[in-house]
């Protein structure tokens, strides 16, 4: 066939440089959240767009901070592992096609906290303060209206496009929740108090497991249908000056079960759900925009779920009481997220400590 010719200077090297910078910046960000990552665990071919990581262990504190705006404040991540992650990057169609991430066997262990846990309250306040600082930094660094112009603007535009267009597939994900509070364990007439001490330094047992299988998350169009074309995932509203990005999530087998802590009740059920259900989720995120460029600050985010059938729950009364106690205790801690008194008190304490250290 005929060779293509261009009258102007060739920009392929510049494009490769930009793509390499985007790739390396994302890789370094991921690496900072991993533990014990060695070169032997990485099989990568940058220009072929294929990368595989094996037996990953993520840093719990950094992972908690990274997902602080969506992860429940009452659950402390203590361990997170992934058996295998494969990343496929369509370099030849990077501006129109989605990056594909395939994960195998994700397992997360978390500890449930209550509102009387002052030590954990201080941790949550620090994470919320850091989250606010990160949002303020985004606003200060955002070149609103100029993201599509210049080399730096093109880099930011490309990086944001890569993040928004990622498709994720997970064969199995498991969340294991542990606790040291007696009310989180099924019991009749105080049976749990004999083996659970509220003053224990470490969790004594698993109280709940949540498992999802065959999970997909994909960019979606305005009708929330999965879409791998990046052009169709953004919708601009000229009245509110907002750019809305949509994502679609589906879990083909979602189920919740009691934890592995022994339950002596002869009426206890080994499963809380009669059968797994199909869970469908829709995520919408809105950014300030003038239609041509977008500010990276998230102004509004919406999340909704629905099941394909009615949920049929089973179990003994002791299990129901324990489950509701766990849900209510974790839910109460969400009030810490927006409590200005805690945020200002934490900031004052930090300033006082810094002043004392300087003196």
| Segment 118-146, tens digit of pLDDT | 899 889 888 888 888 887 776 666 554 44
Alpha carbons 273 and 20: distance in angstroms, whole number? 47
Q: What is the pLDDT of residue 102?
A: 95
Which pTM value belongs to this model?
Answer: 0.76
Angle separating helix axes 340-358 and 118-141, nearest 10 degrees: 90
Q: How confident is the model at residue 74 (pLDDT cuts 50, 70, 90)?
A: very high
**Residues 245, 284 contacting (CB under 8 angstroms):** yes
Alpha carbons 243 and 132: distance in angstroms, whole number? 22
Query: Which residue blocks in the chain are alpha helix, DSSP H?
Result: 12-31, 60-66, 118-141, 150-164, 317-332, 340-358
| Segment 106-115, tens digit of pLDDT | 999 999 998 8
Per-residue tokens: 294: 């977008």
Residue 28: count of CB within 10 angstroms of its CB: 9
Instruction: Give which of 222, 275, 285 is closest to 252, Cα–Cα.
Output: 275
How many angstroms from the chain centroid is the CA of residue 272?
25
- Count of all residues that appear for the chain in the document: 359
Q: What is the average per-residue pLDDT within 81-97?
A: 84
| Segment 234-270, tens digit of pLDDT | 788 888 888 888 889 999 999 999 998 888 888 899 8
What sign has the CA pseudo-torsion 226, 227, 228, 234? negative
Alpha carbons 104 and 88: distance in angstroms, whole number? 15
* pLDDT > 50? residue 324: yes
What percent of the chain has pLDDT above 70?
68
Alpha carbons 57 and 273: distance in angstroms, whole number? 30
**Residues 297, 287 contacting (CB under 8 angstroms):** yes
Residue with tokens 């969506």: 70
Q: What is the pLDDT of residue 192?
A: 52
Torsion of CA 202, 212, 53, 233, to 10 degrees: -120
Better-scored residue on pLDDT, 355 or 64: 64
What percent of the chain has pLDDT above 90?
26
Q: Which DSSP category does 110 fall into?
A: E
Compute and round to an integer the Cα radius of gyration of the chain: 24
Alpha carbons 227 and 167: distance in angstroms, whole number? 10
Alpha carbons 260 and 88: distance in angstroms, whole number? 37
Per-residue tokens: 196: 């659970």
Q: How confident is the model at residue 13 (pLDDT cuts 50, 70, 90)?
A: very low
Looking at every residue in the chain, the average pLDDT score rounds to 76
**3-class DSSP string for 306-359:** EECCCCCECCCHHHHHHHHHHHHHHHHHHHHHHCHHHHHHHHHHHHHHHHHHHC
Torsion of CA 161, 164, 166, 167, to 10 degrees: -140
**Residues 228, 167 contacting (CB under 8 angstroms):** yes
Alpha carbons 99 and 27: distance in angstroms, whole number? 14
Better-scored residue on pLDDT, 282 or 46: 282
Better-scored residue on pLDDT, 141 or 156: 141
Residue with tokens 């993040």: 163
Instruction: Give which of 27, 58, 55 is closest to 41, Cα–Cα.
Output: 55
SS3 217: strand
Torsion of CA 188, 193, 194, 195, to 10 degrees: 110
């Amino acid at each position: 066939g005929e060779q293509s010719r261009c009258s102007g200077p060739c920009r392929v090297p510049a494009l490769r440089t930009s793509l390499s910078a985007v790739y390396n910046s994302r890789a370094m960000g991921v690496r900072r959240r991993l533990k014990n990552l060695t070169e032997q665990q990485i099989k990568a071919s940058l220009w072929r767009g294929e990368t595989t990581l094996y037996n990953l262990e993520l840093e719990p504190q950094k992972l908690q901070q990274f997902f602080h705006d969506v992860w429940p404040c009452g659950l402390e991540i203590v361990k997170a592992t992934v058996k295998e992650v494969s990343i496929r990057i369509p370099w030849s169609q990077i501006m129109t096609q989605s990056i594909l991430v395939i994960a195998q066997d994700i397992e997360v262990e978390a500890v449930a906290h209550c509102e009387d846990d002052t030590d954990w309250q201080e941790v949550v306040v620090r994470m919320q303060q850091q989250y606010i600082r990160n949002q303020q930094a985004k606003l200060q660094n955002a070149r609103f209206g100029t993201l599509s112009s210049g080399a730096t603007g093109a880099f930011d535009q490309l990086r944001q496009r890569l993040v928004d267009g990622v498709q994720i597939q997970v064969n199995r994900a498991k969340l294991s929740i542990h606790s040291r509070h007696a009310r989180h364990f099924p019991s009749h007439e105080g049976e749990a108090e004999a083996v659970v001490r509220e003053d224990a330094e470490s969790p004594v047992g698993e109280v709940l497991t949540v498992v999802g299988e065959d999970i997909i998350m994909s960019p979606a169009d305005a009708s929330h249908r999965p879409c791998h074309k990046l052009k169709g995932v953004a919708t601009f509203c000229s009245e509110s000056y907002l750019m809305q990005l949509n994502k679609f999530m589906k879990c083909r087998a979602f189920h919740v079960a009691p934890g592995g802590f022994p339950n002596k009740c002869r009426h206890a059920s080994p499963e809380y759900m009669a059968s797994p259900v199909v869970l469908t989720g829709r995520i919408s995120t809105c950014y300030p925009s003038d239609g041509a460029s977008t500010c990276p600050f998230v102004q509004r985010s919406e999340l909704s779920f629905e099941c394909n059938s009615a949920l049929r729950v089973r179990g003994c009364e002791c299990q129901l009481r324990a489950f509701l106690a766990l849900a209510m205790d974790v839910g109460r801690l969400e009030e810490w997220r927006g409590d200005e008194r805690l945020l200002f008190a934490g900031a004052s304490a930090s300033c006082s400590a810094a002043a004392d250290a300087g003196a």
